[in-house]
């Protein structure tokens, strides 16, 4: 292993601390973003007619496909 001066070691330690801090900040930001998205999903009002329309369209498309075969 290469011998390093005290100044190089201090600089290396500073870089390692900075890197760890950045990882922690990125992880916290990702966690907050995930929480925000989940909260938005829970708060979105679900229109039962819209939901049933999309379901009926899927069923209808499947029925058409079966008739063609």
Domain boundaries along the sequence of the chain? 1-45
**Structure token pair of residue 12:** 């290396």
pLDDT in tens, the chain (69 residues): 689 999 999 999 999 999 999 999 999 999 999 999 999 888 877 666 665 555 555 555 555 555 555
**CA distances (Å), origin 54, targets 1, 13, 33, 65:** 65, 57, 29, 17
**Structure token pair of residue 7:** 């100044």
The separation between the first and the last C-alpha atoms of the chain, rounded to the nearest angstrom, is 71
pLDDT at 12: 96
- Please, are residues 25 and 32 in contact by the beta-carbon 8 Å criterion? no
Confirm whether pTM is higher than 0.85: no
């Amino acid at each position: 292993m290469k011998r390093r001066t005290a100044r190089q070691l201090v600089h290396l330690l500073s870089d390692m601390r900075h890197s760890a801090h950045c990882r922690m900040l990125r992880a916290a930001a990702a966690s907050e973003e995930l929480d925000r998205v989940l909260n938005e999903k829970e708060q979105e009002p679900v229109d039962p007619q819209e939901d049933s329309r999309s379901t009926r369209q899927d069923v209808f498309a499947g029925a058409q496909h079966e008739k063609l075969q």
